[in-house]
Structure 1
Amino acid sequence: MSRITSWIALGLAAVLAALAGFWLARQLDSPDPQLTSGTWLPQPRELPEFQLVDHTGAPFTRESLRGHATLVFFGFTHCPDVCPATLAKLAQVKQAASMPQLRVLLVSVDPERDTPEALAAYVRAFDREFTGVTGDPQAVAQLTRSFGVATARTELPGGGYTVDHSAAVFLLDAQGRMVAVFTPPFEVARMAEDLQRAASRLGA
């Protein structure tokens, strides 16, 4: 190789290295996604350790949230209106977003009645890939508080009870960290566009 060719090769390598460094810097310093239907958090929020079970009876822990983006909603199978309406919307959002790694998780705020079997029948009515989670009431309450979700049990006049709860939907990245919050009213097209806009930041 001649001296001129060597200098050209070295120069090309330097340019490629500079471009790679520029690209990496842009990725590390990329602006937060500008969501139109939710709020992107200034910093990802780590979740505490927890031990629950999913609708198949399998253990469900913080590690279960890793490796894919997740939309999390807190509700219960006896919910008369908000929960079925929200889960129906999330099924549409999941389809419209066309993100194969996106998961939808329902965390029960009524673990006394929501057994794995009850959750299985419920979530599969909306999408067979949805996951329902329940478990020890104290463990469920701890996870609920960590998301900032408010709940209140209300006794009904004719007997029985219902559970009032926040209706927000939370977005987790592939590390299982909370990165965004969506609040009602949920518009399918806008949420799907927001998820696509945020996809590069979710690590899935």
Structure 2
Amino acid sequence: MIKIPKDYSEAKKWIKPIFIIMIILPIVLIYFAINMRKNSLPELFEAPSFNLIDQNGIQFSSEEMVGKYWAVNFFFTKCRSVCPMQMSKLKTFKEQYPGIGLELISITVDPQHDNPERLKEYIQEMSLNEKKWSFLTGDKDEIRNIVVNGFKSGMDEVQNDGLFDIAHANYLLLVDKNNVVRAVVRFDEQNFEEKLFGLYQNISD
């Protein structure tokens, strides 16, 4: 009968646990690496609270967005400079990613002209999909406060070649489910739609 050395028996007890660790450890490391990258965007600032009116004439509260991922931009229906491009890119984004859980909010910076009826007409003129997309209007001073102080964005009435115009931000702000702004995306960036989708994936569950 062959006598197995005692030290071999002791070593054999450790083979299985070590083998298990060698399998599990890489999986755990990969999991944490993915999640660290997934939520790597900085927390910029808390999105403001607001109560406005949507394109259907219904009161819209920012509280409705708690627990959701959303993005907000600023526009007005008379705008002939950057606004059509903004809406075109958001329209393309929704078409490219129809099942995405990101809601869009577009706030007019010309509420005196852009009432709910005008917003509804604009949506039809631009052939925009209203699903998970709210167009908001309200009191002029309240909107200025929301845009300038709340979202820390520019808004100013100017004369452009003798014509009335409203200068406003040409970017979109991405907000997480905790109501914190996590990214700012310029509409004139290349591959805007793909970049926005990637940023959304970074902060989403």
TM-score band w.r.t. shorter chain: 0.7 to 0.9
Larger Rg: 2
The answer for the alignment partner of 1:7 in structure 2 is none
Instruction: Give aligned pairs, total.
Output: 185
CA shift at 1:114, angstroms? 0.9
Stretches of structure 2 lacking an aligned partner (at least 5 in a row): 1-16
Separation in 1, partners of 2:39, 2:96? 22
Structure 1 counterpart of 2:186, which letter?
T
Residue 178 (structure 1) aligned to one of 172, 178, 181? 181
Separation in 2, partners of 1:24, 1:139? 45
Deviation readout 1:27-56 (Å, 9 max, x if unpaired): 6644656xxxxxx5x215211221111111
**Would you say the 8 A contact 1:47–1:62 is kept in 2?**
no
Separation in 2, partners of 1:54, 1:67? 20
Separation in 2, partners of 1:198, 1:165? 23
The answer for the alignment partner of 1:197 in structure 2 is 198
The answer for the alignment partner of 1:169 in structure 2 is 172
Counterparts of 1:52-71 in structure 2, within 5 Å, are 52-71=52-71
Separation in 2, partners of 1:67, 1:121? 30
Structure 2 counterpart of 1:142, which letter?
N
Stretches of structure 1 lacking an aligned partner (at least 5 in a row): 1-10, 34-39
**Would you say the 8 A contact 1:97–1:193 is kept in 2?**
no
Change in Cα spacing, 1:64 to 1:162, as seen in structure 2 (3 Å) is same
Separation in 2, partners of 1:200, 1:90? 17
Deviation readout 1:85-132 (Å, 9 max, x if unpaired): 210111102222344322222101111111011112213434222321
Change in Cα spacing, 1:157 to 1:197, as seen in structure 2 (3 Å) is closer
The answer for the alignment partner of 1:77 in structure 2 is 77
Counterparts of 1:15-26 in structure 2, within 5 Å, are 26=33
Question: Under a length normalisation based on structure 2, what TM-score does the superposition of the two structures give?
Answer: 0.73
Separation in 2, partners of 1:186, 1:123? 24
Match of 1:43, SS state, is coil
Match of 2:177, SS state, is coil
Question: Under a length normalisation based on structure 1, what TM-score does the superposition of the two structures give?
Answer: 0.73
Give the CA RMSD over aligned residues: 3.3
Separation in 2, partners of 1:157, 1:191? 30
